[in-house]
């Protein structure tokens, strides 16, 4: 479980109902971020990942952006988090009642999303959790995607009514214009690229796999409140 969690919504009455999700709150940011972008040569069968910051040596590399065809800069990478309600888990329990129920629920990060985050952010640590934690300098815990049947047993209060529900911790990754906070387009951008091994130099189409990505962390957390009997 990560060190910090987003706030739960306030259960203020028995007539209260939970939202489908809470509002995202920023957990961390990296200003002036350098990311990797996927380059596809416009006149030959060459593709590779390159830094989105042009440089004059090494390969593969982006030599320069074409005029008017570069992503907005400077860029910021933002990590936000929020809660998503696990469907069917919101319930009221009164003395004498008991909840024992199984939920079939898919949560956690897919292999595709994990690979695209690793490639674009340039994660070198072993595993997506360690990589994101190192990148943002804070604890980020993400598990692999699973679709399992999970059973929860919830006891009633001795008196009054217990309001209970289950939340899935979600992460949101965004690449934004640092001046405006607006998510930048994923592409397509144009530039000149030196592909691997100095084998080919040409114009290229360049695209980020994502500039706004939402993933389930795989962390399920319950929330409850007991209201006294009227």
Provide the pLDDT for residue 164. 95
Provide the pLDDT for residue 199. 66
pTM of the model: 0.87
Kindly tell me the burial class for residue 170, based on how many C-beta atoms sit within 10 Å of its own C-beta (0-12, 13-18, 19 or more): buried
Q: Can you list the positions of beta strands (E) in 178-229?
A: 189-194, 201-207, 212-227
Closest CA to 177 of 100, 39, 71: 71
Q: Which of the four pLDDT bands, split at 50, 70 and 90, describes residue 175?
A: very high
Q: Which residue has the higher pLDDT, 189 or 196?
A: 189
pLDDT tens figures, 110-140: 889 999 999 999 987 678 888 999 999 988 8
Number of Cα atoms under 13 Å in the Cβ half of residue 202: 16
Q: C-alpha angle 182/185/187, rounded to 5°?
A: 160
Q: Where are the domains of the chain?
A: 30-227
Q: Which of the four pLDDT bands, split at 50, 70 and 90, describes residue 64?
A: very high
């Amino acid at each position: 479980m990560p060190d910090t969690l987003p706030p739960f919504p306030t259960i203020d009455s028995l007539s209260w109902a939970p939202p489908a999700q809470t509002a995202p709150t920023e957990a961390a940011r990296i200003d002036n971020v350098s990311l990797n972008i996927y380059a596809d040569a416009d006149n030959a069968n060459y593709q590779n990942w390159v830094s989105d910051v042009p440089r004059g040596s090494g390969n593969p590399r982006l030599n320069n952006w074409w005029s008017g065809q570069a992503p907005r800069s400077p860029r910021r990478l933002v990590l936000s988090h929020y809660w998503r309600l696990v469907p069917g888990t919101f319930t009221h329990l009164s003395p004498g009642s008991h909840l024992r129920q199984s939920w079939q629920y898919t949560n956690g990060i897919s292999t595709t999303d994990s690979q695209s985050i690793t490639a674009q952010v340039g994660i070198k640590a072993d595993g997506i959790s360690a990589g994101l934690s190192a990148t943002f300098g804070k604890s980020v815990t993400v598990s692999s995607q699973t679709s399992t049947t999970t059973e929860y047993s919830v006891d009633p209060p001795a008196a009054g009514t217990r309001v209970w529900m289950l939340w899935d911790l979600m992460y949101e990754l965004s690449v934004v214009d640092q001046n405006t906070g607006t998510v930048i387009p994923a592409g397509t951008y144009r530039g000149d690229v030196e592909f691997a091994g100095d084998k080919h130099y040409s114009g290229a189409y360049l695209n980020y796999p994502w500039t706004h990505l939402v993933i389930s962390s795989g962390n399920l957390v319950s929330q409850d409140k007991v209201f006294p009997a009227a």
